[in-house]
Amino acid sequence: MNTHSNDTAAGSAFDPGGNRPGKMSETRPMYWSVRRELWENRSIYLAPLIVTAVVLFGSFIATLTAASRARSGAPATGNRRPAVVMPISMAPAPIMLTTFLVGFFYCLDALYGERRDRSILFWKSLPVSDRTTVLSKASIPLVVLPLIGFALSLATILILLPVTVAASLARGVSLDRLWGALPEPLVMIYGLSVHTLWFAPIYCWVLLVSAWARRAPILWAVLPPLALAAAERITFGSSYFLNMLQYRITGAMKEAFINTAGHRYEELTPLNFLSTLGLWVGLIFAAGCLVAAVRLRVNREPI
């Protein structure tokens, strides 16, 4: 009786629901798998933060330098974008580029690294499926890094804005031209989404190589496509595969924006982008790579 009473009291104190299965909190394996990637790979957020700091420092110097020239120069006129406005309008570009590069190198080591240091034995002992593990790793370049890039780009613009406004007034640049040169958040979100979807087959291909390669995954990720392009050129004298690779790397801007005067992509064309065959072929290829990566992780052993 005493034992039963103590167990009942303990259960009521530590589990008000009476240990009923319906009241137990979900383990959320996907959420914790993504958190694990952030804990183990600090470069995911440290590299964009460092580049943001460098961009802020360089933009401050460029803005103040342009403003100081106002004493000897005439007010900015014409259609050309004023030099004092250029730093804030171009600031998001290197930050977003950094997130894409970090995503590529993260995917190279995502599945290869856990086999190299034999930690795969520990992670496989946990009640987390191989599919959840691979999808959590794929979510880093496809979801987490674009969000980090957008947040840091927006923060950079907000930090630079007061200095740019003051410098524009000193330079004689109208605030209307300044507001027109500021990157719009919706355009930034659109651009990040476009490039993330367009680069998805690249990320997933590298993840597949990371799950398969026994050493030097970067060579296995890069050399086979280049070898195929070279073999096609030598054998048939054509460059279709090489052109396809170039299109996959640079085609997002062409399909998602209209090239206006001065080689600036400003007008958005989301319907054209979503109806592009290359987008859907790439996404199907990316899905196939993820399925293959899951299958490889099921049977792969430590290196």
Residue pLDDT, tens place only, 74-88: 444 444 456 667 777
Question: 125 lies in a domain?
Answer: yes
Domain of 36 in residue numbering reads as 25-299
Parallel, antiparallel, or unpaired: how do β-strands 257-260 and 264-268 relate?
Answer: antiparallel
CB 102 within 8 A of CB 139: no
Amino acid identity for residue 63 in this structure: T
- Overall average pLDDT of the 31-39 stretch: 92
Question: 186 lies in a domain?
Answer: yes
- Overall average pLDDT of the 250-270 stretch: 74
Question: 75 lies in a domain?
Answer: yes
Q: Which two tokens stand for residue 286?
A: 């990316």
- Overall average pLDDT of the 250-261 stretch: 80
Please name every residue paired with 259 in a beta bridge, in sequence order, or none if there are none.
265
Q: For 26-35, 229-238, 239-248, 280-289, which range has the lowest pLDDT when averaged over its residues?
A: 26-35
pLDDT of residue 220: 94
Query: What is the C-alpha separation between 279 and 255, in angstroms, rounded?
Result: 9
Residue pLDDT, tens place only, 181-206: 667 788 889 999 999 999 999 999 99
Question: 17 lies in a domain?
Answer: no
Question: 13 lies in a domain?
Answer: no
Instruction: Please report the DSSP string for 124-136 in residue order.
Output: HTSS--HHHHHHH
Counted domains in the chain: 1
Q: Which two tokens stand for residue 170?
A: 């000193």
φ/ψ of 267, rounded to 5, equals -85, 130
Query: What is the C-alpha separation between 265 and 20, in angstroms, rounded?
Result: 58
Say which DSSP state 248 is in: H
Question: 15 lies in a domain?
Answer: no
pLDDT of residue 88: 78
Q: List for the chain the helix, strand, coil content (%; round to 5).
A: 75, 5, 20
- Overall average pLDDT of the 4-24 stretch: 43
Question: 289 lies in a domain?
Answer: yes
Query: What is the C-alpha separation between 117 and 100, in angstroms, rounded?
Result: 26
Say which DSSP state 214 is in: S
Task: Check whether 57 has a pLDDT greater than 70.
Answer: yes
- Report the share of the chain in percent with pLDDT over 70: 77
Q: Which two tokens stand for residue 194?
A: 């476009």
- Overall average pLDDT of the 38-53 stretch: 94
pLDDT of residue 26: 64
Question: 171 lies in a domain?
Answer: yes
Query: What is the C-alpha separation between 179 and 6, in angstroms, rounded?
Result: 69
SS3 label, residue 265: strand
Q: Is the pTM of this model over 0.85?
A: no
Residue pLDDT, tens place only, 134-178: 999 999 999 999 999 999 999 998 898 888 777 767 666 666 666
Query: What is the C-alpha separation between 101 and 64, in angstroms, rounded?
Result: 30
pLDDT of residue 228: 94
Task: Check whether 21 has a pLDDT greater than 60.
Answer: no
- Overall average pLDDT of the 273-278 stretch: 93
Instruction: Please report the DSSP string for 156-201 in residue order.
Output: HHHHHHHHHHHHHHHHT--HHHHHHHSPPHHHHHHHHHHHHHHHHH
Q: How high is the mean pLDDT of the chain? A: 82
φ/ψ of 283, rounded to 5, equals -70, -35
Amino acid identity for residue 113 in this structure: G
